[in-house]
Structure 1
Amino acid sequence: MPAIPPRRPSTIRADATPRGPAGSAHHATVDCVVYIDGVGERGRVPHREAIRRVRDSGRGFVWISLDAPGHDQMEALSRDLGLHELITEDATSGRQRPKLEAYDDALVLNMSTVRYLAHETVTQVSDIVSTGELMVVLGRDFVVTVRHGDQITPTDLVGAPGYSPERFAIGPAAVMHAVADRVVDSYIEAAEGMAADIDELESALFTPRTRVDIEQIYVLKRELLELKHVIGPLTTPLRRLSVDHLDLVPAEARHYFRDVQDHHAQAAAVVATLDEQSTSLVSAAAAIVGVQQNTDMRKISAWVAIAAVPTMIAGVYGMNFRHMPELEARYGYFVVLGIMVAMCAGLFLLFRRNRWL
């Protein structure tokens, strides 16, 4: 199995402000931070004032973070930033496939986010991974992040140690890189959790005298397919960000996107390997279940054969014929019982020796 790279710290350094109720479509949380020379200014700033300050001074950029914005709020922000109406529609509707779209004055990156859900056992109703969406709108002096779902929060993207102002001084593309970096980290975390689940099921599967619950493997297979469908489509957008000469992505930022692309490729390879491993587990579990069912059928057949002997003998003497010589024998009853017991015991020992019982 390809090695899972160690989890790296998130790479955005900013100052988060208190957030409102998560997931409200009409009361989206707005975090707005102005960055000058890579350093975020403390304190909450209305986005219109932040945009005006940056554009009047010609220095720095604005980072605006939205949590499931309503159409009116996103439309107002789009007017202030001069965004295309299709960006507004995608930001409010959600359910976007991972993609990279270039407009005249903006670059839009849609990503699916993943959060691994801790659990004690895998059941048919288990949700092992929870998915959401994250949209990044990149402009020359602004970057807007729009979140749908309760996966990666702005808190996950701020205050990370080891992220220097020099990197943010690159411009808004540094925020897009940091967000993509954290999203790919979430893929790696989910892959680590799924790998542990598969190893646990594999160990239980090959433990002697352990009943196999094949439904658990099917659940893991289902969740792996969901994770695979989340990770796969992001390959092309990351490749474009790291290779194509996009106006809004400086050459220096493309180097960082190559690192994200490399980790994304490793995560995709691990998930593909886990998918193959789960397929093998399904085949092995089906074979083990077949063996267990065959063993059960042999036991049932053995007991039926043992029970058939006294049933047959008792049936013969239960036919009530008048002329049956054994009926007049003094010890006939005890002899017949002895024959029943002897034959049953003999069959039991025979089946036991052949490991049918």
Structure 2
Amino acid sequence: MMSMINNLRAAVRSNRRRPEATGPTAGLGAESPSSVVDCAVYQDGQRHGESCSPREAARRVREAKQKDHRESREHPGSFSWIGLHEPTEEEFEGIAQRFALHPLAVEDAVHAHQRPKVERYDDVLFAVFKTIRYVEHDRLTPTSEVVDTGELMVFAGPDFVITVRHGEHGSLRGLRRHLESDADGTGLLAKGPAAVLHAIADQVVDDYLLVADRLQTDVDDIEFDVFSPLGGPGADAGRVYQLKREVLEFKRAVAPLLRPMQQLSEPVSARLIDPEVQKYFRDVADHLARVTEQVHGFDELLNSLLQANLAQVSVAQNEDMRKITAWAAIFAVPTMITGIYGMNFENMPELHYKYGYFVVLGAVTAICIGMYRGFRRNGWL
């Protein structure tokens, strides 16, 4: 079934009219898969030439390595960065073979729906990130979508970076341009593929921080509404539950990534990552820990709000039951007395007394008034 779907997607892409290439993808050439967003070679931290096909990028890097025998982890020299968006198996197969990617990692990258993780295959790091986008809404409803998730896979080898994006957000084009311009003066691209992996992780985690801040507003609004006297008991249960579902989706994207980010900043990863770049991974791990704590706090607070909302419903139901019970007790008095006098016996008190009806009616009224005042005093009415 999956193969049929992929074949259909490939057919659609092949029949789709492609506009004339401009900008960063202008030089990709006809041999590049349609899923390639950008492909370039970087040498000593600078983009070398225009965009090219993955085959041409591999050739340029190979030639550069033959010329530069000083290349090492501390001096990566040349590497290629290939960016793809939702490639099919057929489109990714050639790239996977050219860069000797592990089949398990290739399968994860193509089919997506993976848990956030960082895995090592020999000298290649394979990272899976969940991208998060906050969905704007005027007011949270029981069916509102609050966060939208996508996926971003990164292969970081000795002389290449391959990024595979799934979803309509989480584009890396702006990040690539930022690194190429070296706007912050760090020269991270000169550190090689590990620096690109760090920059991607940093951007993903920064997006987490932005989404967490927006979620904080939603959680505060829900908390105010739950305890507001204007809203009826139980009116916000659906909204609380929907927000909790969205927070859980956010939590599944953030929590599994914390330990891998911490491991990338530890000395055990020094053989694959430059020690200078490891310092930056430590900063990413700190930010991710902050987001993780914030999301856990949201989850616990929403649990409390849901329980408080259900408790309000229970209290309201108990109050209704007490009122019903009190009125039933009051009406039971005249029902009982009139039932007794309706038995039609010959010898009954006050049955033939001239004012008997008024005496009984007054007694019923007095008893009912007394019971009503007693229930009001005890808070039942």
CA 1:328 to 1:34, structure 2 compared with 1: closer, same or farther past 3 Å? farther
Query: Which residue is 2:30 aligned to?
Result: none
Alignment of 1:1-40 (within 5 A): 17=24, 28-40=35-47
SS of the residue aligned with 2:208?
Answer: helix
- Counterpart Cα distance in 2 of 1:305 and 1:281: 36
- Counterpart Cα distance in 2 of 1:292 and 1:353: 19
- Counterpart Cα distance in 1 of 2:23 and 2:119: 28
How far is the alpha carbon of 1:36 from its aligned partner?
A: 3.7
Query: Which residue is 1:69 aligned to?
Result: 87
Give the alignment partner of residue 153 of structure 1, picking from 168, 171, 174.
171
The question of 1:166 aligning with 2:187 is answered yes
Query: Which residue is 1:309 aligned to?
Result: 333
- Counterpart Cα distance in 2 of 1:308 and 1:158: 81
How far is the alpha carbon of 1:174 from its aligned partner?
A: 1.8
Q: Is the 8 A contact 1:138 1:248 kept in 2?
A: no
TM-score (norm 2): 0.75
Query: Which residue is 1:8 aligned to?
Result: none
CA 1:123 to 1:319, structure 2 compared with 1: closer, same or farther past 3 Å? farther
Q: Which amino acid aligns with 1:237?
A: P
Query: Which residue is 2:265 aligned to?
Result: 242
How far is the alpha carbon of 1:42 from its aligned partner?
A: 8.0
- Counterpart Cα distance in 1 of 2:124 and 2:317: 62
Q: Is the 8 A contact 1:96 1:110 kept in 2?
A: yes
Q: Which has the higher contact order (CA 8 A, sep 6+)?
A: 1
How far is the alpha carbon of 1:156 from its aligned partner?
A: 5.9
Q: Is the 8 A contact 1:35 1:60 kept in 2?
A: yes
- Counterpart Cα distance in 2 of 1:336 and 1:16: 99
How far is the alpha carbon of 1:143 from its aligned partner?
A: 0.7
CA 1:310 to 1:118, structure 2 compared with 1: closer, same or farther past 3 Å? farther
Q: Which amino acid aligns with 1:304?
A: A
TM-score (norm 1): 0.80
Query: Which residue is 1:255 aligned to?
Result: 279
Query: Which residue is 2:112 aligned to?
Result: 94
CA 1:297 to 1:231, structure 2 compared with 1: closer, same or farther past 3 Å? same
Query: Which residue is 1:353 aligned to?
Result: 377
The question of 1:183 aligning with 2:190 is answered no
The question of 1:78 aligning with 2:96 is answered yes
Query: Which residue is 1:207 aligned to?
Result: 228
Unpaired segments ≥5 residues, structure 1: 1-14, 20-25
Unpaired segments ≥5 residues, structure 2: 1-21, 27-32, 66-76
Query: Which residue is 2:61 aligned to?
Result: 54
Q: Is the 8 A contact 1:16 1:158 kept in 2?
A: no
- Aligned identity (percent) is 46
Query: Which residue is 2:288 aligned to?
Result: 264
Q: How many residues of Structure 1 are paired with residues of Structure 2 in the alignment?
A: 337
How far is the alpha carbon of 1:324 from its aligned partner?
A: 5.6
CA 1:314 to 1:118, structure 2 compared with 1: closer, same or farther past 3 Å? farther
